[in-house]
Amino acid sequence: MRSKLSRAIHPIDNKMLKPYTLRETPTEAPTGKISGQTTVLYLPFLRMPNHPEEMIDRLSLASGIHQGDMRYKIVGSGINRLTPVLPPEKQRDFVAEMQTMGIPAVIVAEQMIKRRIKLPIACSVEITDSDLCFFDRNKNPVFRIDKETDLLIIAAELTGKRSRKSLIPPDLAQQFTGPSFTDALRKISLNSPAAIFYRVGDGETVDGVLMDHSSFHYRSMNEYMQMSAAANFRTLIEKAINYSKTCITDNGFSSTTLARISHDENSSKRDILTSLGRYSGYMLAAAESGLITPESKMAADYSYTPPHPDNDADTYDDDRNTAGEPVPPGQANRLNPPPPLQHSGIIARLFATPYEFLYAVFFLLIPFFSIYLQTWDLNHPVFWKTLTTVSLLGAGLVMFPYGLLILTYKRMVENTPTSKVRSMAMGMVEVSGQARQYYDLKTSHSGTQCVYFRCRYFRRKGARFTGRAAFLRYMARDSERWVLEREISSGRLPFYIEDETGRVLVRPSGALFLISKCIQQFSGPFGMWMSSSIQRSDSKIHEDLIAEGARVYVLGKARPEKVGPAISEKISKALQALKKDKKSLMKYDTNNDGRVDLDEWETARKDTENRVYAEMLANGGLQEQIVIGKPGYGMLPLIIADSEEGIIRKLGFRVWTFLAGGMLMIVTAVHLLTQRV
């Protein structure tokens, strides 16, 4: 079984922690072949559990470590070692307690961690159909990966950058779950990457190899080699995973908090490699002792989403449904998004075109056809002049008022003060903050968390180019030959805007959407952001997205919105239930004729209505949530942008373009008309 231990974080369901019982007899802690000094390795929680007090008390009691210290020891990123070193009996108690609580922990010999590991450095590789073999500088085979290999891969970047994640508030930690191994590898591969490959054995012999990006010859990968070194590194890791029997992957070197692994951006490469060697010793010991295994679901499943009792994965709310699901602020209750909008060919091109350009085409086409229908002659001397005049006049008459409208919007943005979410009043409001997801929305290609995305798939038109020809075409920015093949868009789905005082739902239907989108490009073998799923040089993918947490500005109308089904719907359901329940229905058969006639049914209906209203009032009436949306009347706008300054700048540019352009067009058109007269 293949699996990934990304930074050795394990997800543990909080529900598992609450109802644990006191242990009667200590369970046997797995010790393996241990002799001499021992120590405890464990995988701490990424975030603090909901009710940690009892856990901390028990662990503190078992180990003798102060509760305050223990609090920090059970939370962290990556593999951890218990310090100070406890007496053997305390270690056993501690490990047993940890296991009872669902925290993977094991006792290992100190020598397993401290053993001197001298790894050969791989300079080349040979990839065959059955195995993958690394060679050193003298072309001697140093490490082989085949279908019998239990592999441990530690990927790390040798820049010395650290990304510590301790001291994150528990309520925020769920947002910092970090990338998966594949995502992390993409980043690592761009900055001086290195990898250590170990064969996970019995702990007596160590078999492994260090692959340093700077001294490795990717050319030896032959047909698997691509132009980008980063892509080559990723391909090599991917091949190693595929050729092995089982594989544990790890990318936690940069965020480790283990002792004696100290390096930073100013450290020499030698120091960083020494730290990596020490870190790999811990990882190898953890793999050999069974702390992390490919079969371990806890260790394998990195992308942990905290469970929520109300989370119904099968439901999603449509944007058009104004009565949204109740999602209390601050709760991670994200709904599944509706299916994305897919277009292809001309439709996709149409959707990708700015709407102002479409207006312009429309105002040129209308007079063209109207005049052509009158003259039926394209070579008529007056035809083109009349066409130009009418088109200019039409466009000018639209552009000038549109410019004035945009000016009104601009002044509205300037004149409206920014409210806090907590104290927002109903009516036109301006709120600024960060975008937060309402739906569990991810971009269709890279899976990036976002509140909006548009993914465009391009294909190079004509023959497929390879080698030097492809490279030259790429360098020449020959973008004209890229054809939009397909477009997938999330559509304008609701999202939250969050400031320091709270969050409020935004329904962006009908909004003037002037937000700068983050752009990700996944192209052929020459792109930095090479995706392993695209191996063709004739395709590229553009993702425009508004990422989760992006800065957002909203000007719109705040209004209360009823949450949950409407009262009429509830009554309808209650009546349907009454019809099905013959016994209850027959209670209304007052004349005992065995059937419910019209008057009796009317009584039943009124009773049901009263009951539903009473139940509703007993539950506190209809629930409401505040939403910001487009005003339902007049020309008041709903504007969504990055920031107030940004939207003022953008609108200002449009105002002057449309006012001046419109005025110029009208004047020119009238001038042409007067010339004809």
Name the token pair of 310.
Answer: 């109300």
Binding mask 481-510 for another protein (x = CB under 8 A): --------------------x---------
How many whole angstroms separate alpha carbon 48 and alpha carbon 63? Answer: 19
Interface with another protein (CB under 8 A), residue from 85, 412, 547, 585: 412
Residue from 88, 339, 427, 560 binding another protein (CB under 8 A): 427
From residue 4, give the alpha-carbon distance in Å to each of 11, 380, 618. 13, 73, 51
- With CA atoms as reference, report the closest residue to 44 among 307, 288, 286, 294: 286
* Contact between 249 and 181 (Cβ < 8 Å): yes
Query: Closest distance between another protein and the C-beta of residue 364, in Å?
Result: 22
Nearest distance from C-beta of residue 555 to another protein, angstroms: 13
Figure out which of the listed residues 27, 163, 344, 418 binds another protein, where binding follows CB under 8 A.
Answer: 418
Largest CA distance in the chain: 108
What's CA 663's distance to the chain center, in Å?
46
Return the residue matching tokens 């509760």: 67
Q: Which of 100, 408, 509, 572 binds another protein (CB under 8 A)?
A: 408
Q: Which is nearer to another protein, 21 or 674 (CB)?
A: 674
- Which residues on neighbouring strands pair with residue 75, listed in sequence order? 45
Token output for 580: 């099905």
Does the protein bind another protein through residue 414 (CB under 8 A)? yes
- Which stretch, 95-103, 367-375, 402-410, 531-539, contacts another protein (CB under 8 A)? 402-410
Q: Kindly tell me the sign of the dihedral angle through the C-alpha atoms of 442, 444, 448, 453.
A: negative
107 φ/ψ angles, rounded to the nearest 5 degrees: -100, 130
Laid out side by side, the sheet with 518-522 consists of 341-344, 482-489, 450-460, 539-547, 518-522
State which residue, 320 or 676, has the beta carbon closest to another protein: 676
Stretch that binds another protein, among 154-162, 296-304, 345-353, 406-414 (CB under 8 A): 406-414
Contacting another protein (CB under 8 A), which of 63, 91, 419, 437?
A: 419
Distance CA 302, CA 37 (A): 32
CB of 427 to another protein, least distance (A): 7
Applying CB under 8 A, which part among 33-41, 61-69, 102-110, 666-674 lies near another protein? 666-674
416 touches another protein by CB under 8 A? yes
Question: Residues 553, 646: contact at Cβ < 8 Å?
Answer: yes
- Looking at beta carbons only, is 353 or 418 nearer to another protein? 418
Our finding on whether 22 is near another protein (CB under 8 A) is: no
- DSSP codes of every residue in 55-109: HHHHHHHHH---HHHHHHHSB-SS-EE-SSPPPHHHHHHHHHHHHHTT--EEEEE
Q: How many whole angstroms separate alpha carbon 340 and alpha carbon 673?
A: 49
CA angle 213, 219, 224 (to 5 degrees): 100
> By CB under 8 A, which span of 35-43, 81-89, 414-422, 595-603 interacts with another protein?
414-422
Structure tokens at 256: 């480790």
Asked whether position 130 contacts another protein by CB under 8 A, the answer is: no
198 near 291, Cβ under 8 Å? no
Pair 431, 424: CB distance under 8 Å = yes
Segment interacting with another protein, rule: CB under 8 A, options 186-194, 419-427, 504-512, 533-541? 419-427
The answer to the question of residue 671 lying near another protein (CB under 8 A) is yes
User: Which residue, 505, 480, 507, is CA-closest to 492?
Assistant: 507
674 near another protein, rule: CB under 8 A = yes
What b/e readout covers 635-664, taking b as 16+ CB neighbours within 10 angstroms?
Answer: ebbbbbbbebeebeebbeebbeebbebbee
Candidates 322-330, 526-534, 626-634, 669-677; binding stretch for another protein (CB under 8 A):
669-677
Cβ neighbours of 610 (radius 10 Å): 10
- Using CB under 8 A, which of 423, 463, 582, 676 touches another protein? 423
Options 221-229, 361-369, 411-419, 548-556: segment touching another protein (CB under 8 A): 411-419
What string marks each residue from 147 to 186 as x (binds another protein by CB under 8 A) or -? ----------------------------------------
Alpha carbons 307 and 284: distance in angstroms, whole number:
32
**Considering the rule CB under 8 A, would residue 397 count as an interface residue with another protein?**
no
Asked if 354 is part of the footprint of another protein (rule: CB under 8 A), the reply reads: no
Q: Which of 121, 547, 616, 670 binds another protein (CB under 8 A)?
A: 670
Task: Select the residue interacting with another protein from 425, 475, 476, 598 (CB under 8 A).
Answer: 425
Strands (DSSP E) contained in 574-651 are: 624-629, 639-641
667 binds another protein (CB under 8 A): yes
Q: Does 420 bind another protein (CB under 8 A)?
A: yes
* Minimum separation from the CB atom of position 618 to another protein (A): 21
Comparing CB distances to another protein, the nearer of 297 and 671 is: 671
Choose the stretch contacting another protein; rule: CB under 8 A; options: 7-15, 73-81, 130-138, 667-675: 667-675
What is the end-to-end Cα distance of the chain in Å, rounded?
85
Per DSSP, the residues of 245-268 read: SEEEEE--GGG---TT----TTS-
> Which is nearer to another protein, 100 or 408 (by Cβ)?
408
Q: How far is the CB of 666 from another protein (least distance, A)?
A: 7
DSSP element (H, E) containing 239: helix 229-243
Which residue, 501 or 590, is less far from another protein as judged by CB? 501
By CB under 8 A, residue 128 contacts another protein: no
What is the Cα–Cα distance from 556 to 136, expressed in whole angstroms?
Answer: 65
Written in H, E and C, the secondary structure of 112-177 is HHHCCCCCCEECEEEECCCCEEEECCCCCEEEEECCCCEEEEEEEECCCCCCCCCCCCHHHHHHHC
- With CB under 8 A as the contact rule, which of the stretches 7-15, 89-97, 539-547, 665-673 interacts with another protein? 665-673
| Region of 73-81, 210-218, 407-415, 503-511 interacting with another protein (CB under 8 A) | 407-415
Q: Which of 315, 415, 533, 592 touches another protein (CB under 8 A)?
A: 415
Q: Which is nearer to another protein, 370 or 416 (CB)?
A: 416
Q: Does 659 bind another protein (CB under 8 A)?
A: yes
Residue 417 binding another protein, by CB under 8 A? yes
Residue 429 Cβ, how far from another protein at the closest point, in Å?
A: 9
Kindly tell me which residue out of 407, 547, 574, 626 binds another protein, with binding defined by CB under 8 A.
Answer: 407
Is 66 near another protein (CB under 8 A)? no
Q: Determine the size of the site formed for another protein (CB under 8 A).
A: 24
Binding site for another protein (CB under 8 A): 404, 407-408, 411-412, 414-420, 422-423, 425, 427, 501, 659, 663, 666-667, 670-671, 674
